[in-house]
Amino acid sequence: MPDLSRVSAPKIIAIANQKGGVGKTTTAVNLAAALAESGQRVLLIDLDPQGNASTGLGIERDQRDYTTYDLMAGDAPVFDVVKETGFENLLIVPANTDLSSADIELISNEKRSFLLHDALRQSAMDAFALDYILIDCPPSLNILTVNAMVAAHSVLVPLQSEFYALEGLSQLMLTLREVRQTANPNLRIEGIVLTMYDKRNNLSQQVEADARDNLEGLVFETMIPRNVRLSEAPSFAMPILQYDPASKGSEAYRALAAELIQRETA
């Protein structure tokens, strides 16, 4: 059994939204980098079969001999699965298309919802001296996302500043409630972060107002702007803090990391 009482246990946050194109992976990669830049030891778990977070941190396809699937299945030691990135204090467990068959392959495993939970709490993880583990979930509410929610202490939800954005949260909240009732009663919402925000756009302002009215303190003060440099960074396999440290995108993710840390210590 994993030891759940370890003082050094890192804070585990799942970054989830079943809708694609909301800035989920962008937030996972750049929040991880911003936390690492501030001196936190961070592990990013790429749980999306597309492997975009891995690509965004410079892990080439041919470097992914061991992936999140091997971590969950127990097919490889954590020291083989966890990889260094080109960013200090930031580690990653990469993903590839092996994860796309997880729903079918794990269905017969009676502990299928707890595989990531147990993998992240094995004693070998202590060697990495982590402060945070961020999980980049797939854009769907499948067994992988459920694994992330069972493993996590909290869920951070990127919310695109667009029409119908709030309506898309309902299914995610239902899944979160089910996980609380069946597997992880202490799971909470870390917060909602507004992404692709354009302060010149009336729609963005309306979405912000609606989100703050309906979700109140759950919405982070920090908002992630629409930013060309932020969009470019993944094609250079770098987080924005490395690609353009002075950009608006870098400033926003530094502010989000600081706000997250402040919430934890408040």
Report whether 234 contacts 56 (CB < 8 A).
yes
Give the strand pairing for 83-84 and 90-93: antiparallel
Residue of 121, 187, 177 lying closest to 150 (CA atoms): 187
Neighbouring CB atoms inside 10 A of 229's CB total 14
pTM (2 d.p.)? 0.93
In DSSP terms, 205 is beta-bridged to none
User: Percentages helix, strand, coil for the chain, rounded to the nearest 5?
Assistant: 50, 15, 40
- Domains of the chain by residue range: 11-265
Q: Alpha-carbon distance 162 to 165, whole Å?
A: 6
Domain 11-265: which CATH number of 3.40.50.300, 3.40.50.1970, 3.30.1330.40, 3.30.70.2740: 3.40.50.300
Dihedral sign (CA 266, 133, 74, 69):
positive
- How many Cα atoms are found within 13 Å in the side-chain-facing hemisphere of 78? 16
- Lateral strand order in the sheet of 188-195: 83-84, 90-93, 42-46, 132-136, 11-15, 154-160, 188-195
CA-based angle 21:22:25, to the nearest 5?
A: 85
Instruction: Determine which helix (DSSP H) or strand (DSSP E) holds 11, and give its type and residue range.
Output: strand 11-15
Query: Which of 26, 20, 25, 16 has the alpha carbon at shortest distance from 229?
Result: 26
- C-alpha 23/C-alpha 36 separation (Å) is 19
Task: Please give the Cα distance from 157 to 190 (Å, whole number).
Answer: 8
Q: Which two tokens stand for residue 128?
A: 């990495």
- What span, in angstroms and rounded, lies between the C-alpha atoms of 133 and 15? 10
Phi, psi (rounded to 5 degrees) for 158:
-75, 135
266 residues of the chain, pLDDT tens digit each: 444 444 468 999 999 998 888 899 999 999 999 999 999 999 999 999 999 999 999 999 988 999 999 999 888 999 999 999 989 999 999 999 888 887 777 777 778 899 999 999 999 999 999 999 999 999 988 899 999 999 999 999 999 988 777 777 888 889 999 999 999 999 999 999 999 999 888 888 888 888 898 888 899 999 999 999 999 999 999 999 999 999 999 999 999 999 999 988 76
